[in-house]
Structure 1
């Protein structure tokens, strides 16, 4: 199966699939089946990587509201944190991470208003 620019490969999907919450199935069997988690996640990646607004999500990922709602739900449940932990552990096990080289840079540089194109105030003497 080929995948799009921001979409998960089969191998990538298999690494994280079990971290996603299982859908709730009603006892009476009614209701709509939920959209594929993989398709939803690929839609989330498309938005995050492209920088596009949610409303510009391509139709192949489903309605933008559905993708957004699932994204927010997963965010609130800590699903992305679990996925990142699992991926970090995998990278560490495979020898791709050297924890001695990790650092956090909290440098903050404020730019003057004029750098964004604001006009300078004229001063009267």
Structure 2
């Protein structure tokens, strides 16, 4: 017995948008292969871990690539949204597009930086912090320009470490 990813009602809704003749296999294998693609993305598994009931994983992966390149999934999404709109069941409050980029620190990625480059980066960060604090002092109405850097050096505008308040 195949693990069904879609109910028969869901299947009837999306069937008109699936590529049965142009890009697809015989219709009796189309459902298993399409559900194999759904299984892969629902489980976040590797293609090689796909159960055999969806067909051989290289075949399902090949169908996915053909469908992806042909724009089948984009057409399917647009078609389902259009059909839901026709039926008055569109709820776009559930749609979320996230373009957040999360980057790891260079040490987490295994990047090796020489001492000179690290010193230059730390100095640039200290300069940026001094500029930020100088701007904040101007907004506060104070003219405090003496800022201690992370290395412990004084970075005042006069250079002598004296603070003018």
RMSD: 3.3
Rounded Cα–Cα distance in structure 2 between residues aligned with 1:80 and 1:89: 14
Partner of 1:27: none
Rounded Cα–Cα distance in structure 1 between residues aligned with 2:83 and 2:27: 29
Question: Kindly tell me: are residues 72 and 34 of structure 1, through their superposed partners in 2, closer, same or farther at Cα, counting changes over 3 Å?
Answer: same
Rounded Cα–Cα distance in structure 2 between residues aligned with 1:38 and 1:91: 22
The one of 100, 107, 122 aligned to 1:107: 100
1:20 to partner: Cα distance: 1.9
The one of 8, 14, 30 aligned to 1:16: 14
Unaligned segments of structure 2, at least 5 residues: 116-165
Max Rg structure: 2
Partner of 1:37: 30
Q: Is the 8 A contact 2:2 2:54 kept in 1?
A: no
Q: Is the 8 A contact 1:44 1:71 kept in 2?
A: yes
Rounded Cα–Cα distance in structure 1 between residues aligned with 2:10 and 2:102: 36
Question: Kindly tell me: are residues 46 and 117 of structure 1, through their superposed partners in 2, closer, same or farther at Cα, counting changes over 3 Å?
Answer: same
TM-score between both structures, scaled by the size of structure 1: 0.68
Tell me whether 33-42 or 79-88 shows the greater mean CA deviation. Answer: 33-42
Question: Kindly tell me: are residues 57 and 109 of structure 1, through their superposed partners in 2, closer, same or farther at Cα, counting changes over 3 Å?
Answer: closer
Partner of 2:90: 96
Q: Is the 8 A contact 2:20 2:30 kept in 1?
A: no
Q: Indicate the structure whose relative CO is greater, using CA pairs within 8 Å and at least 6 residues apart.
A: 1
Unaligned segments of structure 1, at least 5 residues: 25-31
For 1:7-86, what aligned pairs fall within 5 Å after superposition?
Answer: 7-23=5-21, 36-86=29-79
Partner of 1:28: none
TM-score between both structures, scaled by the size of structure 2: 0.54
Rounded Cα–Cα distance in structure 2 between residues aligned with 1:22 and 1:38: 10
